[in-house]
Structures are given as structure tokens and as C-alpha cells.
Amino acid sequence: MTDRTCAVLVVGGGPGGYVAAIRTAQHGLDTVIVDAGPMGGTCLNVGCIPSKALIHVADEMAAVSNHAELGRLGIRIGGDPTIDLAATVGWKDGVVGRLRTGVERLLDAAGATRITGRAVIVDGKTVRIEQADGSSLLVRAEHLVIATGSRPVELPHLPFGGPIISSTDALALTEMPAELVVVGAGYIGLELGIAFRKFGARVTVVEMADRILPQYDSALTAPVAKRLAGLDVPVLLRTLATGWAAEDGALVVGDHDGHEQRLPADRVLVTVGRTPVVTGFGLESLDLGMDGKFIRVDDRCRTSMRGVYAIGDVTGEPMLAHRATAQGELVADVIAGHRRAWDSVIPEVCFTDPEIVSVGMSPERAADAGVDVITETFPFAASGRALTLDRGDGFVRIVARREDHLVVGAQAVGAGVAELSGELVTAIEMGSTLEDVASIVHAHPTLAESIGEAAMKALGHGLHVR
């Protein structure tokens, strides 16, 4: 076993870990980053990026498959299109590979040392790295950053393997399942379920709650539910998946009345959440303070042990790549001696069809917090840009404190609204009022105009909707 010392050791190469390593190295600190897998972590390799690539292909497939709608627009296509899923996955892997190479080059350019291997924490200053060739490296660091991310939750009665697949497995399929059952109507399940339906698979969704996407309010999820019905995707609510009947090739489910049925399936995609990776690498030796299953951190991402930090999914909800990235940058600055503290609004985006974006307080959250708010919406049915895109479903909603018109939240549901998240989060971060947002001159025709229209409507002088 050979030894190495460094100023900063980052365990985990995901969007939080690699950003922390780049930034600490840019600060001139000797930095080592270790991961058993490729740089980029779950998001880049088997999560955000590959899923969005598949969603894009699915949207393209749906566009050319819907002959009736294209005919209405004046487009004529002969014959039914087919999907070569292996070729699609190959293209997706190419996109992932380019981005992964970019991350590696950024780390190298910053001066960080990349090590591939399994990290095992010995103590708060020492980590043993078990490398693929069987050798071990003992790294001693002044500062340890834990960025180990999360993994899909596995149900005891539906363990992954064979026809029971995780989101990681679904993104690697090279043959189209004829029948796909999705367990869990959260954002991962619906994003992938909608994509596979557009590819041509028959998809059924099973959800134990009484509605889809329970983390969002019903006004935001209603357009998604309507779209699922339009795509002929049955959604079985208040229904539990209880087991796999291998002899029938079917998922056994039961509803709230105790009625059981079997759903034929070539694949069962289990998407019932993600859990932080806090075991299997010696974390228990540190005896860190925990918040339930998450590592407890303060507003500088410091754990209960001096010199040990944690960022990303291991620190709690929302488990989102951009939150991890922001924490990675912050913790690097803190380690370098800069005065930083966490005080950020995190946008949440669901890439279903239609998309959902939520920033800050919803009307319900404001009510729960005792904040008296003004809430107004602007429907995309009144948006020139939305109608020219042939997608008038959805709306933009703005939430402002009644006493001073300070914008405390904003949400949207509609085709392409993920790209509105930047303006919505900026409005809140910059302390904008309804008057500020209403006075912005937006380009016409754009979806972003709807944000200003919602603000004007909240002030009582809406222009393009009553």
C-alpha cells in the first residue's frame, strides 16, 4: 500500500463532487477526487442526461408517428416510422461520453488528481482506495468531502433483476418491451414511462397515492394526467404492487379495496424513489450526526466532525443535480477560507409531457407557512407562442406576498417550460416584486411573455386574458 497526502479529498465524482474538486483545485489546493465509476456520477452517466436524451428521441418519434396531427398542420408522411432502440442507445451513449470526457478534461486542467477505485473511510482524515488492479492507496487529507450521491430504492418483494428493472436498467435497454409496467408515478417513472409509450410500448402506471406526482399540487399535475390519458397510458391510483408472478409473466397488484389483478409485463420499471448512499464505504466509522437517513450539515455543508463536509443527495431533499453542484462550489469556497453560506432557491423541474417547473413557494406552501399571498395564472391557451407550437395546454403561475408584492414563488406546466426556470428563479433570488416582473419587456412571441402577463394579471391589469 502506497500513501498520498493532499489538502482536499472528494469521495464521489458526480455533479457535486467533481465541481467541488474543480473549484478547490482552482483555489490552489492539492485536490484528489475518487469514484469507483466514471466521472459525472449518476446524473451524467445513468440519470439526468441519458434520460433527457431518450425523452428527446421519444418526442421526435411521437411527432412523426402522429400522422393525423401532422396532416392537420399540412405535413404528409407515408408509412409508419419504426424505432431502432439499440441505435438510439448508441447515440445517447455518445452524448454521455462527450460530456464525461469534458468533465475529466476540466478536472485535469484545474490540476485535480482523478483516481478510479472504491473509497473506504478509515477516519476523518484518512481514506483507503481499493483500485481495480488489486492495489490499495492510502490518502490522508486535511479536508474530506463526502459526495456519494444516491441509488434507486429497491422493493424487497420486487428485487432488481430479470424483468424487474431500475431506471438505470431502463436507460440501457436495446430492445423495446411490448408491455411495460411502471411502479411509481413520481417524476422518474412518468418521464421514462411517457418516453417508452411514445416509442410504441404499451405502458401502465401503478401508484399507491391517490394522484400522480404527489410532490406537486393538483393544478400543476392535471395537464400531465390529461396527457397520459391522451397517450393511452392507464394509471392505477391507490394501488400497490405486491409481487411478480413469474409463471404468468405478470405484476401482481392490489387496490385499496383489496381487489387483486395481474398486469402482463415484459419489464417492470420500479421507480419508488432514491435513497442516499451512506453505507458500504466506512462512513459509520465517523459517527456523524444524521437527519434520518441523510448526513446532517450546516449552512456551510459542514458535518458534525471538523474537516468533514457533505454535499448533494446524501444531505437531503431535494435530491437534484443542480443543488449538488451549487453545494460543491460553496464547500470549495468554504474550505478555501471564503465567507459563504447556503441561501439559495432551488428550481425543481419535471421533464414529463407537459413539463413542470416549480420555484419557491406554491400557494399551498405559502398557506402552510402563514404567508398571505396573491396568486395568479396566465394560460398558454392565450399565448401566441404556445399556439404556434401547437401546444396550448398549461399555464404560468406567480405567487407574491400580498403586503409588499414580493415574489415568493412561481410555477409553470406546459411544453418546454423547463427553459423558463432561469427567469423564475432569478425573479425570486433578486427580490423582485410583481411590479418588477410586470415591467420587464419580453420578446414576442415567446413563452416567457406569460410570466409578465401573470404578474400584470396579479396587479389587476392583465392585458391578454380576462
Whichever domain contains 380, its CATH number is: 3.30.390.30
What sign for the dihedral angle of Cα 155, 160, 162, 165? positive
Map 339-381 to HEC letters: CCCCCCCCCEEECCCCEEEEEECCHHHHHHCCCCEEEEEEEHH
Task: Encode burial over 90-125: b for 16+ CB neighbours within 10 A, e otherwise.
Answer: eebbeebeebbeebbebbeebebbbbebbbbbeebb
Is the pLDDT score of 119 beyond 70? yes
Banded model confidence at residue 81, pLDDT cuts 50, 70, 90? confident
Residue 111 lies in a domain: yes
Confidence check: pLDDT of 322 > 70: yes
Domain-embedded: residue 370: yes
Burial class (CB in 10 A: 0-12, 13-18, 19+), 132: exposed
Known catalytic residues are 444
Query: Same structural domain for residues 145 and 179?
Result: no
What pLDDT score was predicted for residue 2?
64
Looking at the structure, tell me whether residues 305 and 319 fall in a common domain: yes
Q: Are 330 and 365 part of one and the same domain? A: no
Domain span including residue 433:
354-458
CATH of the domain at 48: 3.50.50.60
**108/253 same-domain check:** no
Taking only the tens place, the pLDDT of each residue in 287-319 is: 999 999 999 999 999 999 999 999 999 999 999
Tens digits of per-residue pLDDT, 253-286?
998 888 999 999 999 999 999 999 999 999 999 9
| Cell numbers representing residue 423 in the block | 427567469
| Helix 449-458 and helix 421-429, axial crossing angle in degrees, nearest 10 | 50
The 8-class DSSP code of residue 161 comes to B
Residue bearing cell 399565448: 383
Q: What is the pLDDT of residue 257?
A: 83
Domain contains 99: yes
**Is 465 within a domain?**
no
* 293 shares a domain with 201: no
Domain boundary among 272, 294, 322: 272
Q: Is the dihedral of CA 42, 48, 50, 51 positive or negative?
A: positive
Q: In the predicted model, is pLDDT for residue 127 greater than 60? A: yes
Is the pLDDT at 67 greater than 80? The verdict is no
8 Å CB contact between 312 and 14: yes
Task: Summarize the confidence of residues 246-258 as an average pLDDT.
Answer: 92
Return all residues near 101 (Cβ < 8 A) that are at least 6 apart.
none
Closest among 96, 97, 89, 98 to 172, alpha carbons compared: 89
| d(C-alpha 147, C-alpha 132), whole Å | 21
Question: Length of the chain in residues, anyone?
Answer: 466
Residue 72: band (very low, low, confident or very high) from pLDDT cuts 50, 70, 90: confident
Count of domains forming the chain? 3
pLDDT at 222 over 80: yes
pLDDT in tens, 417-435: 999 999 999 999 999 999 9
Q: Indicate whether 466 pLDDT > 80.
A: no
Residue 62 in any domain: the answer is yes
Average model confidence (pLDDT) across the chain = 96
What is the pLDDT averaged over residues 125-152?
Answer: 96
Residues 179 and 254 occupy one common structural domain: yes
Residue 348 lies in a domain: no
Residues 99, 203, single domain; the answer is: no
pLDDT at 1 over 60: no
Claim to verify: residue 16 and residue 52 sit in the same structural domain: yes
CB 223 within 8 A of CB 379: no
Tell me, yes or no, whether 359 lies in a domain: yes
Q: Which stretches of 274-358 are DSSP H helices?
A: 321-335
- Residue finishing a domain among 272, 297, 321: 272
**Do residues 138 and 182 both lie within one domain?**
no
Give the residue-averaged pLDDT of 208-220.
96
Final residue before a domain boundary, out of 272, 290, 309: 272
Q: What is the pLDDT of residues 328-361, one digit of tens each?
A: 999 999 999 999 999 999 999 999 999 999 999 9
Per-residue confidence (pLDDT) for residue 366, from 0 to 100: 97
Determine the average pLDDT of the residues in 210-233: 97
Report d(CA 304, CA 13) in Å as an integer.
Answer: 23
Residues 224 and 135 in one domain: no
The answer as to whether 377 is a domain residue is yes
| Same structural domain, 24 and 144 | yes
> Does residue 261 share a domain with residue 138?
no
The four Cα atoms 437, 387, 391, 400 give a dihedral, to 10 degrees, of 20
Q: pLDDT by residue (tens digit) across 30-66?
A: 999 999 999 999 999 999 999 999 999 999 999 888 8
pLDDT tens column, 356-411:
999 999 999 999 999 999 999 999 999 999 999 999 999 999 999 999 999 999 99
